[in-house]
């Protein structure tokens, strides 16, 4: 009884607090605790880093297309900004190329996609879709964003340190990562600690919010699939990141305290035996295991929110319920669980024995099943639908075959025997870029166009949206299809000259030029998107709270939603995709609306 009285007192006190307190600028916009503001902070930070990572890649593409040629105009400037040795005379040095490669991967994955897919979309949409007023832990939410920010600053700053940024790949394998003399490699490890902390805090928040703050009537099987996807993503981040954090600490110790966690005895570096400094006795394989234990669930972190976004948009723009909701839920849970037991398929070439190799090959093939079930359910959902081809739907539709290609090209790699030939080639690069670029990034674009009206009350321009879509679609395929062929011809990853010195690469070497041109064209097609995005904030067509006539709870809130999200406590009466229900007066019913009277026949 005591506790209840205290609760009431607490509630009254805080409610009073809520209504009358207008936050100062720095608490509303900078150290924001409102999930929508934090979601936008993640969005802008993520998009800026996505662009920066893209620029790094565009620099690399010059070197790959025209190895050894000075980069006109910008070449000298880059040398001035980053360091004289990086681009002497405008020609890219191999060390700088390696830095660009390592940081492109790191930034795109940890500072681009994860903050966007999980941080931005998750934060903005999940509380709204479950009818909550905010995340369970608003201050922890803010802390998670600022940890990301610090990690981003650290990674960015590493370019300007003596020696430049990390250059041992985004995978930072030992022993190379230990012996790279640049401060950048150490900063990479420190940056990773911040980024991992950010994700862990975010994961705790998301999981607690989804379990605890679903409104009345919103049972697990009435949740929008987007929320399920974010829920599983939260668990992947929560349980898979800490081993990498441990590994990062150990690699940091190897670099700074001269330990030998990952350094074997008898190691010779640059013709020098290392036993005068290091004890030896460690294992480079240990790093790989700990890295990929995260690395594999990480790729599902990259794709699952995207699948969630696409599902929402397909349901809304086909005007019918998603086919196979239960299989979708069980599949996303299975993918989550299985993703923890496949990691060594990134390590087939490390000499593991037959029994363990068979185990990982089997689990890897198995995990393709739930992934295919998800894709199939989404495709079948189109059948008999009344499809509206607006911009978000274009991106969502394109996601389906693109993810299909990405996933199917991954399947051969599950087999040790095939991986023997394709490991570390451009085939791998093409495979994972298909899934993340034409897959996830398309889903993210779809989500931006789709939820923009909720965040701003206005809609983005449809014409320029389609220009953005078609340009991106054509260019992305032009970039990555030739890469499959290059990989199958034997062109390896991380070659500074793209294979120019190898005879066997001769038939596919010219693709480098076409791919680079397509990459630069892709950049041009992002310009209408950027302009559209900012222009529409003030000048876009004003729309109602539910311009897409969608059914999920976020569309019941005002656009943009105020602090507290909903004008009254919500209650849910039905599933998330009640479109075109026979007998209903409209072709959609929001989840919180009580049953309408049936049409008299």
Partner 1 sequence: MDIPYTVSPRLDTGLWNAKLGIWLFLASEVMLFGALFSTYILLRVHAPESGVLMWPKGSDYLNIPIGTFNTAVLITSSITVILGWASLVMKNLTKFRWYMGATILCGLIFLGVKAYEYNEKFHHYGIFLKGGTVVTGHLVSEAEDHAMLIPDAKGDHHSEPKRFERSEIVRISCFGPKYSPFFAIYFTLTGLHAIHVIGGMIVNAYLWGPGTRMWATQPARFTNRVEVAGLFWHFVDLVWIFLFPVLYLL
Partner 2 sequence: MSDTTDLTHFKKHVNVCVWIFVALLVFTVITVAVAQIDLGKTRNIALALFIATFKALLVAAYFMHLNAEKKTIFMILFVTFAFFAVLMFLTLGTLSDHIKL
3-class secondary-structure state, position 134: coil
Contact letters for partner 2, residues 268-297 (x by CB under 8 A): ---------------x-xx--x---x----
326 binds partner 2 (CB under 8 A): no
Residues pairing with 216 in the sheet? 571
Distance between CA 519 and CA 532 in Å, rounded?
A: 21
3-class secondary-structure state, position 533: helix
Contact range with partner 2 by CB under 8 A, out of 263-271, 348-356, 400-408, 464-472: 348-356
Q: Which of 279, 350, 501, 510 binds partner 1 (CB under 8 A)?
A: 279
Distance between CA 526 and CA 538 in Å, rounded?
A: 20
574 binds partner 2 (CB under 8 A): no
50 binds partner 1 (CB under 8 A): no
CB of 285 to partner 2, least distance (A): 7
Burial 287-303 (b: 16+ CB within 10 A, else e): bbbbbbbbbbbbbbbbb
How far is CA 32 from its chain centroid? 23
Q: Which of 239, 382, 418, 500 binds partner 2 (CB under 8 A)?
A: 239
Burial 123-154 (b: 16+ CB within 10 A, else e): bbbbbbbbbbbbbbbbeebbbbbbbbbbbbeb
Q: Which of 1, 19, 73, 417 binds partner 2 (CB under 8 A)?
A: 1
Residue 291 and residue 248 in contact, taking contact as beta carbons nearer than 8 Å: no
CB of 28 to partner 1, least distance (A): 18
3-class secondary-structure state, position 416: helix
CB of 240 to partner 2, least distance (A): 8
Exposure on the CB side of residue 534, measured as CA atoms within 13 A:
7
The nearer residue to partner 2, 200 or 444, going by C-beta atoms, is 200
Contact range with partner 1 by CB under 8 A, out of 106-114, 152-160, 200-208, 347-355: 200-208
Contact range with partner 1 by CB under 8 A, out of 10-18, 309-317, 524-532, 590-598: 10-18
Q: Which of 259, 288, 334, 363 binds partner 1 (CB under 8 A)?
A: 259
Is it true that the peptide bond before 175 is cis, omega within 30 degrees of 0?
Answer: yes
445 binds partner 1 (CB under 8 A): no
The nearer residue to partner 2, 243 or 324, going by C-beta atoms, is 243
Residues pairing with 459 in the sheet? 541
Q: Which of 1, 4, 25, 601 binds partner 1 (CB under 8 A)?
A: 4
The nearer residue to partner 2, 342 or 398, going by C-beta atoms, is 342
The contacts of residue 436 (CB under 8 Å, 6+ apart) are: 108, 113, 299, 302, 303, 406
The nearer residue to partner 2, 8 or 211, going by C-beta atoms, is 211
3 binds partner 1 (CB under 8 A): yes
Distance between CA 390 and CA 422 in Å, rounded?
A: 39
The nearer residue to partner 2, 27 or 289, going by C-beta atoms, is 289
Distance between CA 459 and CA 472 in Å, rounded?
A: 20
Contact letters for partner 2, residues 205-224 (x by CB under 8 A): ------x-------------
Is it true that the peptide bond before 43 is cis, omega within 30 degrees of 0?
Answer: no
Residue 163 and residue 221 in contact, taking contact as beta carbons nearer than 8 Å: no
3-class secondary-structure state, position 489: coil
Q: Which does 355 bind (CB under 5 to 8 A by kind): partner 2, partner 1, none?
A: partner 2
Distance between CA 339 and CA 304 in Å, rounded?
A: 12
Tokens for 596? 């309408």
CB of 228 to partner 2, least distance (A): 16
Q: Which of 31, 190, 283, 543 binds partner 1 (CB under 8 A)?
A: 283
For the four alpha carbons of 73, 74, 77 and 79, in that order, the dihedral sign comes to negative
Q: Which of 352, 411, 485, 521 binds partner 2 (CB under 8 A)?
A: 352
341 binds partner 2 (CB under 8 A): yes
Q: Which does 347 bind (CB under 5 to 8 A by kind): partner 2, partner 1, none?
A: partner 2
Continuous segment of H or E residues that includes residue 542:
strand 541-542
Residue 227 and residue 210 in contact, taking contact as beta carbons nearer than 8 Å: yes
Distance between CA 526 and CA 279 in Å, rounded?
A: 51
333 binds partner 1 (CB under 8 A): no
CB of 7 to partner 1, least distance (A): 5
Task: Using CB under 8 A, list all residues that contact partner 1.
Answer: 2-4, 6-7, 9-11, 13-15, 18, 132-134, 136-138, 140, 200, 203-205, 207-208, 211-213, 238-243, 245-247, 249-250, 253, 257-261, 265, 275-283, 286, 290, 293, 564, 566, 569
Task: Using CB under 8 A, list all residues that contact partner 2.
Answer: 1-3, 211, 235, 239-240, 243, 283, 285-286, 289, 293, 337, 340-341, 344, 347, 350-356, 359
């Amino acid at each position: 009884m005591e506790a209840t009285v205290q609760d009431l007192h607490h509630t009254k006190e805080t409610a009073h607090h809520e209504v009358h307190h207008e936050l100062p600028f720095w608490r509303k916009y900078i150290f924001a605790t409102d999930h929508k503001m934090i979601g936008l902070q993640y969005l802008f930070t993520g998009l800026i880093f996505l662009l920066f990572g893209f620029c790094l890649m565009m620099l690399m593409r010059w070197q790959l297309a025209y190895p050894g040629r000075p980069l006109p105009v910008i070449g000298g400037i880059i040398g001035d900004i980053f360091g004289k040795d990086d681009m002497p005379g405008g020609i890219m040095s191999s060390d700088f190329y390696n830095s660009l490669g390592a940081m492109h991967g790191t930034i795109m994955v940890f500072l681009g996609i994860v903050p966007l897919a999980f941080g931005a979309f998750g934060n903005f949409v999940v509380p709204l879709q479950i009818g909550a007023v905010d995340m369970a832990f608003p201050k922890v939410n803010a802390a998670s964003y600022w940890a990301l920010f610090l990690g981003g600053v650290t990674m960015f700053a590493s370019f300007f340190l003596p020696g430049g940024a990390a250059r041992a790949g985004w995978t930072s394998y030992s022993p190379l990562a230990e012996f790279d003399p640049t401060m950048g490699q150490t900063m990479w490890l420190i940056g990773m600690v911040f980024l991992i902390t950010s994700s862990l805090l975010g994961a705790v928040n998301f999981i607690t919010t989804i379990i605890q703050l679903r409104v009345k009537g919103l049972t697990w099987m009435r949740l929008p699939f987007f929320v399920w996807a974010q829920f599983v993503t939260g668990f992947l981040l929560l349980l898979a990141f800490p081993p990498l954090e441990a590994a990062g600490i150990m690699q940091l110790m190897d670099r700074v305290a001269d330990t030998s966690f990952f350094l074997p005895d008898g190691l010779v570096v640059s013709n020098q035996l290392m036993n005068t400094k290091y004890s030896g006795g460690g294992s480079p394989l240990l790093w790989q295991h700990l890295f990929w234990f995260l690395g594999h669930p990480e790729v599902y972190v990259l794709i699952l929110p995207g699948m969630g976004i696409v599902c929402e948009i397909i349901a809304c723009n086909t005007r019918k319920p998603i086919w196979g909701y239960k299989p979708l839920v069980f599949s996303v849970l299975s993918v989550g669980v299985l993703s923890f037991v496949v990691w060594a398929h990134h390590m087939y070439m490390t000499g593991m024995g037959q029994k363990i190799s068979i185990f990982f090959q089997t689990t890897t093939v198995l995990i393709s099943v739930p992934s295919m079930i998800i894709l199939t359910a989404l495709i079948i959902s189109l059948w008999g639908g009344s499809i509206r081809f607006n911009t978000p739907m274009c991106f969502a539709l394109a996601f389906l075959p693109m993810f299909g290609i990405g996933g199917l090209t991954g399947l051969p790699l599950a087999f040790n025997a095939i991986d023997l030939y394709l490991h570390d080639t451009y085939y791998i690069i093409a495979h994972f870029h298909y899934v993340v670029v034409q897959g996830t990034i398309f889903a993210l674009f779809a989500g931006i166009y789709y939820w923009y009206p909720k965040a701003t009350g206005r809609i983005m321009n449809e014409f320029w949206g389609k220009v953005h879509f078609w340009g991106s679609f054509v260019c992305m395929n032009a970039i990555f299809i030739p890469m499959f062929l290059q990989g199958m011809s034997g062109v390896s990853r991380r070659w500074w000259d793209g294979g120019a010195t190898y005879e066997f690469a001769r038939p596919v070497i010219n693709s480098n030029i076409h791919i680079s041109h397509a990459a630069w064209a892709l950049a041009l097609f992002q310009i209408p998107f950027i302009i559209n995005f900012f222009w529409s904030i003030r000048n876009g067509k004003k729309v109602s709270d539910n311009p897409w006539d969608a059914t999920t709870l976020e569309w019941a809130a005002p656009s943009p939603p105020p602090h507290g999200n909903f004008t009254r406590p919500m209650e849910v009466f039905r599933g998330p995709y009640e479109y075109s229900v026979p007998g209903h007066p409209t072709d959609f019913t929001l989840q919180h609306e009580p049953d309408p009277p049936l049409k008299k026949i």
